[in-house]
Amino acid sequence: MSRGSDLLHAQPVEVGPAMMALIAELFPIGRSITGDGLRQTLSILRRSIPLAIHEVPSGTPVLDWTVPPEWNVRDAHVANSCGERVIDIRESTLHLVGYSEPVRARLSLAELRPHLHTLPDHPDWIPYRTSYYSAGWGFCLRHRDYLALPDDEYEVVIDSSLTDGYLSYGELYLAGEETDEVLLTAHACHPSLANDNLSGIAVLASLARALQSAPRRLSYRILFIPGTIGAITWLARNRDRVARIRHGLVLAGVGDRGAKSYKKSRRGDTAIDRAVCHVLRTGGAAHRILDFSPYGYDERQFCSPGFDLPVGRFSRSEHGTYPEYHTSADDMSFVSATSLADSYATLVAVLSMLEGDAAFVNQCPYGEPQLGRRGLYGGTGEERMARLWVLNQSDGQHSLLDIAERSGLAFAAIREAATALAEAGLLAPVA
Ligand code: ZN
């Protein structure tokens, strides 16, 4: 009955700064959906969690897709006729459009312009762009710098390679007493963006560390994967295993200062949907609960109709709704240790709930048992109400989560009541 509670011992106040430090370390790395930046990110994570790193060859058919060529970049810049670098990937990984093909050319400003991307509404921010599945190249820069480019002959250098290589992803499986699995994923393919992807990586890595040393009823499968193609690749390679997934969460954008949000699974009424909604509703803080839609992060793949897995998405501000999204303004100052710790604590509460959920049978169901005689009528009003609710509803058909929802009491109070009642012999677990 105390299962899951060990997770709670990891103090979110301590994990906040540790997560910020991990984000700061990963921030400068030029990640993409394949390549050495992704690999380097996974090997940094492997210092503290025993990730298996899988390498899937380019060209491998995965569901309706194909693993793309591996992309790596050694240098990318635009230099003016004096040889000065006016755009330089060494200043920000965002300057180069992801998956740009190799280029060495001398171009006039007019010829260069179609390859330049800016944000006129935010002239000091660099946009983040990719060109994964169509050949091309480009640079992203501050609109202010773009306007200042004089007519000149520019030298464009993109020393990149698109070759037969591998798609890398990290997987950690933690066996529990039961083979039922909880799937937890974060995408790991964005370059220097703090909230969109690094915050999810940091919170998931902290959860993985806590889960490793906690007693586990459920088994856990934790994935650090490139967005879309990584989820599709994992699903293609694990089709026969997905039936074990009982609950799942995609973590994305969990470090900004906005309110927490939860996007329900396609089914909308699974245990993970109910657990996250319960934690958010009883948590007392502002939050948003969103119905499923076939857009967003990797929940799109896990909730495609052929799989239809019980996987929701936990975020703070939703992608695309804040101006900093996919720009250089999603930097270290856009995320906070407090928000990361709050996201972490919320997820720990959700996982503790999944771990601790169970159904019982009242062993004294004819009339109320005399609680006073057993020392169980004291405590706060909430504690008494929780015991009465658990006794009344424990007919073997209602789980503790059902009782928490029906009573409106916090799951932790319901579980504590069940523990006390079971110790007094008034409840027996359903086998
Ligand atoms: Zn993104």
User: Which residues is 169 bridged to in the sheet?
Assistant: 54
Q: How far is the CA of 404 from the centre of ligand 1 (A)?
A: 35
**Ligand 1: centre distance to CA 327 (Å):** 10
Q: Ligand 1 centre from 202 Cα, in Å?
A: 16
- Number of neighbours of residue 192 by Cβ within 10 angstroms: 21
Is the separation of the CB atoms in 329 and 125 below 8 Å? yes
Identity of residue 170: G
Beta bridge partners of 395: 361
Cα of 133 vs centre of ligand 1, distance in Å, is 16
Domains observed in the chain? 3-67+166-355 (3.40.630.10), 71-163 (3.50.30.90), 359-429 (1.10.10.10)
Distance 167 CA to ligand 1 centre (A): 18
Among 141, 131, 166, 135, which residue's Cα sits nearest to residue 59? 166
- Cβ partners under 8 Å of residue 223, min gap 6: 169, 170, 171, 183, 184, 185, 186, 230, 231, 234
CA of 265 to the centre of ligand 1 (A): 20
How far away, in angstroms, is 318 Cα from ligand 1 center? 11
How far is ligand 1, taken at its centre, from the CA of residue 365, in Å? 54
Report residue 321: phi and psi, to 5°.
-100, -10
* Ligand 1 centroid – CA 196 distance (Å): 5
- 86-90: long-range pairs with CB below 8 Å, 24+: 86/145, 86/149, 86/154, 87/139, 87/141, 87/145, 89/30
Q: In this structure, what DSSP letter does residue 318 have?
A: P
* Distance from C-alpha of 394 to C-alpha of 403, rounded to nearest angstrom: 8
User: What is the distance, to the nearest Å, from the Cα of residue 211 to the centroid of all Cα atoms in its chain?
Assistant: 16
Using CA atoms of 19, 24, 25, 28 in order, give the dihedral in degrees to the nearest 10.
Answer: 140
Six token digits for residue 59: 């060209």
Give the pLDDT of the chain (431 residues) as one tens digit per residue.
Answer: 344 455 655 556 689 999 999 999 999 999 999 999 999 999 999 999 999 999 999 999 999 999 999 999 999 999 999 999 999 999 999 999 999 999 999 999 999 999 999 999 999 999 999 999 889 999 999 999 999 999 999 999 999 999 999 999 999 999 999 999 999 999 999 999 999 999 999 999 999 999 999 999 999 999 999 999 999 999 999 999 999 999 999 999 999 999 999 999 999 999 999 999 999 999 989 999 999 999 999 999 999 999 999 999 999 999 999 999 999 999 999 999 999 999 999 999 999 999 999 999 999 999 999 999 999 998 999 999 999 999 999 999 999 999 999 999 999 999 999 999 999 999 999 97
Report the predicted TM-score, pTM, of the whole model to 2 decimal places: 0.95
User: If you ran DSSP here, which 8-state letter would residue 7 be given?
Assistant: G
At which residue do the structure tokens 């295993």 appear? 241
Q: Are 426 and 362 in contact (CB under 8 A)?
A: yes
- Give the H/E segment covering residue 74: strand 70-79
Residues 54, 56, 62, 65, CA torsion sign: positive
What pLDDT does residue 1 have? 38
- Where does 292-379 show beta strands of DSSP type E? 311-315, 359-362
> Are 97 and 129 spatial neighbours (Cβ–Cβ below 8 Å)?
yes
Burial of 40 (0-12, 13-18, 19+ CB in 10 A): middle
Looking at residue 353, its pLDDT comes to 95
Residue 9 pLDDT: 56
The dihedral through the CA atoms of 196, 187, 162, 41 has a sign that is positive
Ligand 1 center to 195 CA (angstroms): 9
Query: What is the C-alpha separation between 165 and 32, in angstroms, rounded?
Result: 13
CA–centroid distance, residue 364 to ligand 1 (Å): 55
Q: Where are the beta strands (DSSP E) in 164-307?
A: 166-174, 181-187, 219-225, 245-251, 260-263, 287-290
Distance 127 CA to ligand 1 centre (A): 12
Kindly give the distance from the C-alpha atom of residue 326 to the centroid of ligand 1, in angstroms, as a whole number. Answer: 6
Is residue 37 classed as helix, strand or coil in its secondary structure?
helix
Residue 135 to residues 67, 103, 132, 232, 385, Cα–Cα distance (Å)? 15, 12, 8, 21, 64
